[in-house]
């Protein structure tokens, strides 16, 4: 039974038809063309589909699109603004935190949610917060470093 709903993604309203069994991940990627969120496992284990819903990290492959209507969804496409990368994105590039890039959108959004809540996290706190985002390439060190560096820059030090 298709419903007409409004998804508010990165500040923009997208009217879309969805069936109840369509996940937010599939609708973002296949209907809205926002392919930043990745389908790594589709069963909630890897975190590659992490998006923010009302500022909180969420697992898009485990959210029914219909239940996300009228909420503020942020995808990695929404991190940059006015042609400029978010400090987190720039730090990931500068500090070698990206290899294949598949985990990166999820990592960036989890990191953003962390820094919104805790602007100067310790390394331990970063590792703990990112525990739901898996990376097969980097071994995590550069990702952690990039987040620490971005946090310093964003904290205005």
- Interface residues toward other proteins, by CB under 8 A: 1, 19-23, 42-45, 47, 50, 53, 56-59, 61-64, 66-67, 110, 113-114, 128-129, 131-133
Q: How many CB atoms are closer than 10 A to CB 99?
A: 14
Residue 44 CA to residue 128 CA, distance in Å, equals 17
Closest separation between CB of residue 126 and other proteins, Å? 12
Spatial neighbors of 139 by CB under 8 A, at least 6 apart, are none
Q: CB of 21: closest distance to other proteins in angstroms?
A: 4
Tell me how far, at minimum, the Cβ of 6 lies from other proteins, in Å.
15
CA distances from 154 to 45, 117, 118 (A): 30, 13, 12
Nearer to other proteins, 76 or 114 (CB): 114
Q: Kindly tell me which of 29 and 81 has the beta carbon lying closer to other proteins.
A: 29
């Amino acid at each position: 039974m298709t419903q007409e709903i409004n998804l508010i993604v990165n500040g923009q309203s997208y009217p879309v038809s969805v069936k109840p069994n369509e996940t937010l991940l599939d609708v973002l990627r296949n209907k809205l063309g926002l392919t930043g969120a990745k389908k790594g496992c589709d069963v909630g284990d890897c975190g590659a589909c992490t998006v923010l819903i009302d500022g909180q990290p969420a697992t898009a492959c485990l959210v029914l699109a219909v239940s996300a209507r009228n909420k503020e969804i942020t995808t990695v496409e929404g991190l940059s603004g006015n042609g400029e990368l978010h400090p987190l994105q720039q730090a990931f590039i500068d500090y070698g935190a990206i290899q294949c890039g598949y985990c990166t959108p999820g990592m960036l959004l989890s990191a953003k949610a962390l820094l919104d809540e805790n602007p100067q996290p310790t390394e331990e706190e970063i590792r703990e917060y990112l525990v739901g985002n898996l990376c097969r390439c980097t071994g995590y060190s550069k990702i952690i470093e990039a987040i620490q560096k971005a946090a310093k820059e964003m904290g205005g030090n």
